[in-house]
Amino acid sequence: MRLTDAEVESLQQSLTPNVRVLLFIHASLIVGVVSYFAFSWSQGLNLASNDKPPPILPLALAVLNSVMSFVLPSVIRSATQVDQESDVQMLAGTFQVGHIVGMALLEGACFFAIFSLNDQDNPPPAWFLCVPVFLILLMFARTPLPRSVTNWVVSKLEERSSL
């Protein structure tokens, strides 16, 4: 059974506090990474010429964590089963946990990439600076919008009613 527009609007209003908390957490994760990146930049980054090979571990971690930041939240969210009307807040909480896990994976990869920019003994090539910048942009792009949270909750509720 499909929810009406009025029901979806009411649901979005009831999810507003959950989305607000999620936005604060999301912003906090980004601010931590951006602050450390700015601090590292102000201390002077140690970069080598572009023909030098990149540090494999930070690059692999960035790729792996970026992929897992999409996979794990989906796994967490798909494990949720809805049985009752009162499960809306539980669904919102599940969405939040999935989002936070995904963002934490990106944050970890970003910190590791920034750490490697400060490696005095084995500096990365200058192009490696793009790795933390890309990860920070990806974190911004993953900002949870009220409509995306609502749409996910609505899809779970409609999935329940179709069973």
Give the model confidence (pLDDT) of 40-82 as tens digits. 888 888 788 888 888 888 889 889 999 999 999 989 888 776 6
**Res. 2 pLDDT band, cuts 50 70 90:** confident
pLDDT of amino acid 68: 94
Q: Can you give the three-state secondary structure of 123-162, one letter per residue? A: CCEHHHHHHHHHHHHHHHHCCCCHHHHHHHHHHHHHHHHH
Decide if pLDDT at 86 tops 60.
no
Nearest to 22, CA basis, from 97, 105, 89, 91: 97
- pTM score, two decimals? 0.84
Q: How far apart are CA 35 and CA 30, in angstroms?
A: 8
**Res. 83 pLDDT band, cuts 50 70 90:** low
